[in-house]
Structure 1
C-alpha cells in the first residue's frame, strides 16, 4: 500500500448526477471494474469496500445535491491495494474519526462511523481532501488486498 495512488495501474472514473440512482450505478461500476482488474468479487475486502462506497455516495446524494448536481467516483487498484474516492462540490468536510466529549460520548460521525469501522478494521485509511478552491471535497478510502 505504500507505493502511492499514482503508482496504482488500474483506474476508472465515473461522474453521475447526484441522484439516489447514483448509489446503485457506483456499486455496479465498481463491481465491473474489480472483475476486469482480476479482483474477484469474493475477495474478503470487496463486500466491505462496496458497502463503504455505497455509504459515501449516499452521503453525497443526501447532503451535497443542492451545491453539487454531479458527483464523481474514482476507482483505483493494484496488486495489493484498492482505493476509491467520492467527490462532490459541497464545501462541508465531515469528521471521519469520532471524537469524545468531556462526558465520554462520541460525536460527529453518523453513517461515517460505519465507514471508519470497516476501513480501519480492514487495515485501511480514510482521508478527506478539500478542493483547491475550498468549494468541494473528496473522501479517499484505501484498503489492502
Structure 2
C-alpha cells in the first residue's frame, strides 16, 4: 500500500510516522484496528480529544467492518496502515478482494450507506478518500487522509 505524501517538509515527501497492522479478516479485527489507532495516535502525541480523532475511529471501524463482511471469502487478512506527519493523519484499510468500490458519484450511492457516510464524514472534516488498487490486481486499499 502506497502511503499518501505531505506533512512535514516537502509536499512530495511521505508522511514520516508509520505503523502497519495485519489481522485475520474476522470480527475482532474491527476492535483491534480501532484500539491500535488510539494507541498509535497517543504515541504520536495526538490528543484523544482532538476533533478529528473520534470521526477517524468511526471511519476506520466502518472500513474494517466492510472488509470483514465483504472480503473475507477472498482475503484471509485485512491490513491497516496508519501514517502521520505535521498536520495530517492518514490510514488505509486493505484486503485482497479485487472489487474496487466507487467512492464518489452516482455509483457510490448504490452501495449502501456505509461508504457514503465514510466519504461524507471525511469530506466534512476537510479530508480525502481514495481507492487504490494493489499492483498485482488482486486487492485494494481505501486511504483516508484527515487534517490534524
List alignment gaps of at least 5 residues for structure 1: 101-105
Note the C-alpha offset of 1:80: 0.4
Comparing 58-67 and 7-16, the one that deviates more: 7-16
Provide, for residues 78-117 of structure 1, a one-character-per-residue CA deviation record: whole Å limited to 9, x for no partner.
12000000010000011111418xxxxx433531011011
**Under a length normalisation based on structure 1, what TM-score does the superposition of the two structures give?**
0.91
- 3-state SS in 1 of match to 2:113: coil
Helix, strand or coil at the partner of 1:128: strand
Q: Distance in 2 between matches of 1:5 and 1:70?
A: 30
Do residues 16 (structure 1) and 14 (structure 2) align? no
Decide whether the 8 Å contact of 2:6 with 2:85 is kept in 1: no
> Is 1:141 matched up with 2:148?
no
Closer, same or farther: CA 95–5 of 1 in aligned 2, 3 Å? farther
Aligned length: 140
For normalisation by structure 2, the TM-score amounts to: 0.89
Aligned 1:6-85 pairs, distance under 5 A = 6-85=13-92
Query: Is the CA contact (8 Å cut-off) linking 2:18 and 2:83 kept in structure 1?
Result: yes
Once residues 2 and 9 of structure 1 are traced to their aligned partners in structure 2, the CA distance between those partners, rounded to angstroms, is 9
Local SS of the residue matching 1:76: strand
